[in-house]
Amino acid sequence: MNVAAPQSPLLRWVYRGYMLAFLIYLAAPLFAAGMFAFNDSMFPALPWNGFTLDWFFSSTEPKIGMFHDRRLLRGLQNSLIIGVAVSAMAVAAGTCNAFLFERKQFPGKNIFYILMIVPLVIPGVILGISLLVFASMIANGLEETFGIEWDFLRPGIFLVILGQFSFLTTITSLVIAARLRKFDIALEEAAFNLGASRLRVLMTVTLPYLMPALFSAFVVAFLVSFENFNTTLMLVGSDAPLTITMYDRMVKVGSTPVLNAVSFFLMVGSGALALLSVVVQRKDEQT
């Protein structure tokens, strides 16, 4: 018997009903957004005009499917580039941070630790504008005083990457540090003791141990980067990632079910990715 659970059957059913309602609440907008991707209509709205896959595959006007829509594909490509770059950087920096805070003792550690968490609690918009302002100040300063033009400090992919990196690093650091904390330092000492060099210990013992955390940190960072809007909005240049492209499309052109198609595609994609990360984690727990 699980004492934590309600004991009376009625309450148990009420509780289960609540859970079910909650899951429906979670699924409803996703379902709605996904459903109209298959509606054979120009508008993502009722009435239902029948099932079609045109919004994915059609290449003819007016129903250009998402796989033939150059701008959406470009946005997707930009998102992928940004996501991979940001995740790789954030995982690398997060690993450094994890080692720094788990393994090293230094004065002011607590303050630095809080500083590390702070980006998580700064609203994304503010991260975006502060970076925009700061980069512009530098770029303008350089231009006015030295006549140097550092265009990468202007809105564009580079700034988007920096902006997302600035808060994703906190997340990856926390994920990796949590795993590193569970690492028994005796494993490293054992490897040393068996004759391994520092680098070898890192490569054969510590990093393999951290691997599941590195992987899930990467996935989390990638997905968050992929869906990020607030920070990116302020920093985006001519190479807009997918969310911004979709937003522009929705607000400035008008939505067609192709946006639903993209949403559906993203849901399936990120669902699969999340699933993969869980599987990796689970497999790790078993060993």
Partner 1 sequence: MARSDVTKLSFILLFAPFALWIALLIILPQLGIGYISLREKVGPGEYTFGVSNYVAFLSEPIYWNTLLRTAWMSILVTAMALIVGFPVAYYIAKIAQRRSRAALFLMCLIPLWVSDLVRAFGWIVILRETGLVSSFLQKIGLVSGPVEFLYNDATVVMGLVYTVVLFMIVPLVSTLDGMDNSLIEAGYNLGGSRFTVFRRIVVPYAMPGIVAGCIIVFMLTAGSYLTPILLGGKNSMWFTEQIYEQFVTRYNWESGATFGVLLLVFTSFVVWLGLRLTDQSLASTVAKD
Partner 2 sequence: ETLRLLTWGGYAPDNVIKLFEEANPDITVEVTLSNNEEMVAKLRATGGAGYDLAQPSHDRIFAAQQEYNIYKPLDLSKVDTAALAPNLLEGVKANATIDGALYAVPHQWGTSGIVADISKAPDVKGWGDLCNPEYKGRTSMRLRRTILLGTAFSLGKDPFALYGDKAAYQTMLDEVTEKLIACKDNVKTYWNGGDDLSTLLLSGEVVVSEAWDSTAFKLYGQNKNLVYVPPETGALAWIDTFVIPRKGEADDAAYKWINFVMKPEIVKLMSDSTGAIAAVSNGIDLLPDDKKAAVKAAFDEKDLANLKFFANIPAGLEDMEGKALERIKAAASN
Partner 3 sequence: MHDLQCESLSKRFGAYTAVNSVSFNVPRGSFFSILGPSGCGKTTLMRMIAGFEEPTSGDIRIKGQSVLSTPPNKRPVKMVFQHLALFPMMNIGENIAYGLRCRGENKADITRKVAQVLDRVGLPGTEQKQVSQLSGGQKQRIAIARCMVLEPDVLLLDEPLGALDLKLRERMKIELKQLQHQFETTFLYITHDQSEALLMSDNVAVMNAGQFEQIGSPQELYNDPKTGFVAGFVGDSNRWPGRALSVADGKVRVALDGGGEAIATAGDDRIAAGSTVELFVRPEVLSVGPGAENRLEGTVESLLFNGASSRILVRAQGGNLIEVGQAVMDGTNRVQPGARVDIGWSHGHGRCFSVSR
CB of 53 to partner 1, least distance (A): 19
If one asks whether residue 276 binds partner 1 (CB under 8 A), the answer comes out as no
Binding residue for partner 3, selected from 191, 246, 259, 261, defined by CB under 8 A: 191
Environment class of 286 (CB within 10 Å of its CB; exposed 0-12, middle 13-18, buried 19+): exposed
Hey, how many other C-beta atoms are within 10 angstroms of the C-beta on 71?
15
Contact of 17 with 250, CB cutoff 8 Å: no
- Using CB under 8 A as the binding rule, the residues of this chain from 62 to 101 that contact partner 3 are none
Residue with tokens 């975006």, as numbered in its chain: 128
Minimum CB distance to partner 1 smaller for 31 or for 150 = 31
Binding partner selected for residue 117 from partner 2, partner 3, partner 1, none, CB under the kind-specific 5 to 8 Å limit: partner 1
Q: How far is the CB of 244 from partner 1 (least distance, A)?
A: 9
The answer to whether 231 and 167 are in contact (CB under 8 A) is yes
61 lines the binding site for partner 3 (CB under 8 A) = no
E-only strand ranges, the chain:
none
CB 201 within 8 A of CB 192: yes
Whichever of 145 and 193 has its CB closer to partner 3, that residue is: 193
> Binding of partner 3 at residue 196 (CB under 8 A)?
yes
Q: Which stretch binds partner 2 (CB under 8 A): 9-17, 150-158, 166-174, 199-207?
A: 150-158
Least distance CB 171 / partner 3 (angstroms): 24
**Residue 1 contact among partner 2, partner 3, partner 1, none, beta carbon within 5 to 8 Å by kind:** partner 3
Among 24, 92, 194, 279, binds partner 3 (CB under 8 A): 194
Per-residue three-class SS string for 244-269: HHHHHHHHHHCCCHHHHHHHHHHHHH
Distance CA 159, CA 136 (A): 11
Cβ atoms of 213 and 178 closer than 8 Å: yes
